[in-house]
């Protein structure tokens, strides 16, 4: 029996680095309201752990044979029967939370492994990985720079024009901001990140056309195996705005229309070769590599690594939803304020009813 737990505060916890980290109110409410999401990939008989104030589990999850328990009153039989634990993302704070709930230490990563995951999740890993991928994919584009001073960011802006800057630990568009030129409003934010977290990742501001990701699983034998394609939507500011849910072939056709018939497959092959070298067996579990199609003077080109996420992602949620929808669609998976997504139109399905602020929903995708 495997225990599952949804901790969307993972990136915040990594940035903190402390097992005593307390999630922001928004992250805590999202984790509570959408705590049933791991039932999408849990097996019958597995247990999804819910926050004490989480709404009752949705009917679809119960009908799949998934069990639910509150984290603050975890029965002894569940603790003793557990053979593995799967969380949204591993960090020191969630490991401490589960230990305090009674989960056996043997099922939780120790300090050394947690430190390794935090190190591997740092944005400097993208700066290291991207040049290797570019060498394997000569028609691809993209550059990433790790800057440890505001002066380095200023120099890049003078060379490339507007930049996108990213906090060392961040995801889903959080901690990502535009830097237009030396002395712009974002300068103080860069200074704060350098002072508090040691630096900032900076890359040119690309003319983005399509966002997508390759989802993988890192296995105990050190391999990294492709799991599926995710096509997702973002706001103008780069924040996550939803995923398309459709068969692999439908999504692949859309991506190949942008970057060519073999570019994505070549990128997957390159990642399956390079990621095991980067991870060196120090991470086991789901991971996603965000990519995008960008417009260049030579037409659309593939940027093969915008982010590396060593955790479950909304893309892995979308992959699980393929089976849930029976392969029809396409659909759009969204996270929205309560009462808005499920009311968007005929055929909309709320996956996490009963929340106080957030709901995850499937909407018919019309285009």
**Residue 341: is its pLDDT beyond 70?**
no
List strand residue ranges (DSSP E) for 151-284, in order.
163-166, 176-179, 200-204, 207-218, 224-234, 240-245
Distance CA 134, CA 317 (A): 28
**Residue 343: is its pLDDT beyond 60?**
no
The DSSP-derived string for 129-159 is HHHHHHHH-TT-----EEESSHHHHHHHHHH
Distance of CA 86 to CAs 34, 90, 119, 135, 285, Å? 16, 9, 20, 35, 8
CB–CB of 37/312 below 8 Å? no
pLDDT band per the 50, 70, 90 thresholds, residue 236: confident
- Model pLDDT, residue 25: 93
State residue 115 phi and psi, 5-degree precision: -65, -40
Distance CA 48, CA 149 (A): 43
Q: What is the tens place of the pLDDT at every residue in 249-299?
A: 999 999 999 999 999 999 999 999 999 999 999 999 999 999 999 999 999
CA nearest neighbour of 231 among 332, 326, 309:
332
Q: What is the tens place of the pLDDT at every residue in 59-118?
A: 999 999 999 999 999 999 999 999 999 999 999 999 999 999 999 999 999 999 999 999
- Model pLDDT, residue 323: 83
**Residue 229: is its pLDDT beyond 90?**
yes
Distance of CA 249 to CAs 16, 225, 322, 325, 366, Å? 40, 18, 12, 16, 18
Contacts of 305 (CB under 8 A, 6+ apart): 126, 129, 130, 133, 142, 144, 271, 289, 290, 291
- Model pLDDT, residue 250: 94
Q: Which two tokens stand for residue 165?
A: 């800057």
pLDDT band per the 50, 70, 90 thresholds, residue 365: confident
Q: Which two tokens stand for residue 101?
A: 């709930």
- Model pLDDT, residue 342: 58
- Model pLDDT, residue 93: 98
Lowest mean pLDDT among 21-25, 98-102, 256-260, 327-331: 327-331
Distance of CA 319 to CAs 316, 342, 356, Å? 5, 20, 26
Q: Which two tokens stand for residue 66?
A: 């998934």
Q: What is the tens place of the pLDDT at every residue in 156-186?
A: 999 999 999 999 997 666 789 999 999 999 9
- Kindly state the average pLDDT of the residues 311-332: 88
**Residue 204: is its pLDDT beyond 90?**
yes
Whole-model pTM: value is: 0.94
**Residue 152: is its pLDDT beyond 90?**
yes
- Kindly state the average pLDDT of the residues 225-238: 90
Number of H helices, E strands in the chain: 12, 16
Name the average pLDDT for the chain: 94
Which three-class secondary structure state does DSSP give residue 194? helix
Strand order of the β-sheet with 176-179 is 145-147, 200-204, 163-166, 176-179
Distance CA 67, CA 26 (A): 26
- Kindly state the average pLDDT of the residues 337-349: 74
State residue 306 phi and psi, 5-degree precision: -90, -40
pLDDT band per the 50, 70, 90 thresholds, residue 367: low
- Kindly state the average pLDDT of the residues 238-249: 90
């Amino acid at each position: 029996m495997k225990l599952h737990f949804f901790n969307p505060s993972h990136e915040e916890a990594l940035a903190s680095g402390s097992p005593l980290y307390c999630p922001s109110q928004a992250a805590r409410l999202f984790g509570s309201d959408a705590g049933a999401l791991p039932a999408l990939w849990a097996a019958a008989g597995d247990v999804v752990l819910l926050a004490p104030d989480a709404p009752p589990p949705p009917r679809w999850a119960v009908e799949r044979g998934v069990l639910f328990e509150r984290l603050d009153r975890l029965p002894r039989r569940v603790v003793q029967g557990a053979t593995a634990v799967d969380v949204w993302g591993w960090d020191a704070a969630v490991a401490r939370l589960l230990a305090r709930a009674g989960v056996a230490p043997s099922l939780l990563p120790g300090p050394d492994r947690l430190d390794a995951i935090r190190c591997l999740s740092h944005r400097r890993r993208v700066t290291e990985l991207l040049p290797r991928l570019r060498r394997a994919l000569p028609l691809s584009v993209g550059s990433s720079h790790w800057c440890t001073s505001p002066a380095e960011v200023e120099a890049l802006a003078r060379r490339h024009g507007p930049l996108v800057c990213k906090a060392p630990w961040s995801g889903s568009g959080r901690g990502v901001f535009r830097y237009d030129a030396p002395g712009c409003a974002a300068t103080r934010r860069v200074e704060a990140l350098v002072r508090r977290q040691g630096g900032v990742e900076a890359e040119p501001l690309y003319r983005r056309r399509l966002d997508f990701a390759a989802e993988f699983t890192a296995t105990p034998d050190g391999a990294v195996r492709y799991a599926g394609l995710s096509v997702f939507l973002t706001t103008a500011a780069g924040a996550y705005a939803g995923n398309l849910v459709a068969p692999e072939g439908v999504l692949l056709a859309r991506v190949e229309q942008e970057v060519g018939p073999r570019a994505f497959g070549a990128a997957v092959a390159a990642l399956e070769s390079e990621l095991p070298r980067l991870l060196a067996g120090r991470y086991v579990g789901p991971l996603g590599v965000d990519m995008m199609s960008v417009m260049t003077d030579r037409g659309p080109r593939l940027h093969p690594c915008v982010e590396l996420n060593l955790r479950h992602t909304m893309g892995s949620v979308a992959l699980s939803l393929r089976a849930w929808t029976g392969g029809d669609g396409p659909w759009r998976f969204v996270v929205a304020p309560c009462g808005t997504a499920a009311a968007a139109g005929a055929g909309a399905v709320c996956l996490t009813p009963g929340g106080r602020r957030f709901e995850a929903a499937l909407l018919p995708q019309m285009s």
